[in-house]
Amino acid sequence: MAQLLILTSAANNDVLPALALLSHSARLIPAQADQLINAPDSDLILIDARTNLAAAKSLCQILRTMGTSTPLLLVITEGGLAAVSPDWGVDDVVLDTAGPAEVDARIRLTAGRQSRTQPSNTIRAAGVVIDEASYSAKVHGKPLDLTYKEFELLRFLAAHPSRVFTREQLLSEVWGYDYFGGTRTVDVHVRRLRAKLGDQESLIGTVRNVGYRFNVHEENDERVPNSISS
């Protein structure tokens, strides 16, 4: 079952009627690029191009410019097919009158083809989604306002879930070998990162007298206070 995000200006949910007969999960949001900022994660984005081809083309191009790596599937009428060209930036098209079997096949093939042909630049772990291409991160759909080093620290830890790293290792991996500051800077950045994670602060776990780790299963991890002990 795929997670679908449908961008449409329509007031109803009949963008692709065949979806009602399939088990995919779909959510509709307004056909505006800024709506994706707080949008849930999805395996495929469907763009409604049934009534306004110019607006749909512009939206597709804006999404690609924004660095969106999620596959784009254009929902279009038969009369609009002639207007679609490679510069739209979509991965596939489907007619709004397509039957369930065709729609299901296009969803599976588009999402599958994208995952095989493009290397993943997204890290997903414990509700955290990190887009390495755009240097952005979200926790349960909420964007995080991180500095460069905070982002790099979160990215590194999330890329190695449950693995414990000493402060010296984190300094080497995140700050680099030529960094001459002390290990205390790791503690400071961890404290700031936890503050920005809010209710999810326990994602960054402390292993006393050793270092830090990214907690995949919060409920099984030791809860530790925010104060850092050297």
Task: Please check whether residue 130 lies inside any domain of the structure.
Answer: yes
For residues 128 and 110, membership in a common domain is answered with no
For residues 66 and 107, membership in a common domain is answered with yes
| Structure-token pair, residue 63 | 């999404």
pLDDT digits (tens, 9 = 90+) for 115-150: 544 445 788 887 888 888 788 899 888 899 999 899
pLDDT digits (tens, 9 = 90+) for 71-93: 899 999 999 999 999 889 899 99
Indicate the length of the chain as a whole number: 230
Residues contacting residue 183 through CB under 8 Å, at least 6 positions apart: 167, 168, 171, 230
Res. 183 pLDDT band, cuts 50 70 90: confident
Residue pair 108/114 in contact (Cβ under 8 Å)? The answer is no
- Residue 89: CATH number of its domain: 3.40.50.2300
pLDDT digits (tens, 9 = 90+) for 42-51: 889 999 999 9
- Residue 202: CATH number of its domain: 1.10.10.10
In our burial notation (b when 16+ CB lie closer than 10 A, e otherwise), range 70-82 reads bbbbbbbeeebee
pLDDT of residue 224: 36
Structural domain range at position 49: 3-118
